[in-house]
Amino acid sequence: MNKSELVDAVSKKTGLSKTDIDRSIKGLIYTISESLSRGEKVTFVGFGTFERRNRKARMGVNPQNPQQKIKIPAKKAPAFSAGSELKEAVATGKLPKLNLMPVAKKGSTWTAPKGKAKKKSGKRK
């Protein structure tokens, strides 16, 4: 799946416009990248954790001349560790329930669906 296919799929599932989804994905990627560049972890419970890892300097081999050794410098690299729900979804094909709250259109206010709100007892505490 590429980015445009992801935008289409999320748009269908959420009912949001493709433009809004595209902007959200760009913002999400930028914010994750910004956090990682500062050395912060970004965790989505159940999905996984993005983090920055330090790689040590090491000796390698020049692929064009295997007899020549080259020094590979130390660097910082992004890494992702999958969370429990993602691991289970990949292993079993069973996806967690998708729980999306309704989205209010511009200029309107959202109200809870009838029958979902708790009744108040009328007594004050």
Per-residue pLDDT of the chain (125 residues; tens, 9 = 90+): 999 999 999 999 988 999 999 999 999 999 999 999 999 999 999 999 999 999 999 999 999 999 999 999 999 999 999 999 999 999 999 988 887 766 566 666 656 566 555 555 555 55
Structure confidence at residue 102 (pLDDT)? 65
- Coil/strand/helix, residue 6: helix
Query: CATH number for the domain including 69?
Result: 4.10.520.10
Considering the domain boundaries, does residue 122 fall inside one? no
Considering the domain boundaries, does residue 57 fall inside one? yes
Domain count, the chain: 2
Please check whether residues 89 and 51 belong to one and the same domain: yes
Q: 66 is in which domain, residue-wise?
A: 47-93
Among 49, 58, 46, smallest CA distance to 86 is for 46
Please check whether residues 17 and 2 belong to one and the same domain: yes
Give the pair of three-digit tokens for residue 38: 């500062």
Query: Which phi and psi angles does 93 have, rounded to 5°?
Result: 80, 0
Q: Write the DSSP string, 50-119.
A: EEEEEEPPEEEEETTEEEEEEEEPPEEEEEEEE-HHHHHHHHH--PPPP-----PPTT----PPTT-SPP
Rounded to an integer, what distance in angstroms lies between the CA atom of residue 115 and that of residue 101? 16
pTM value is 0.70
Structure confidence at residue 56 (pLDDT)? 96
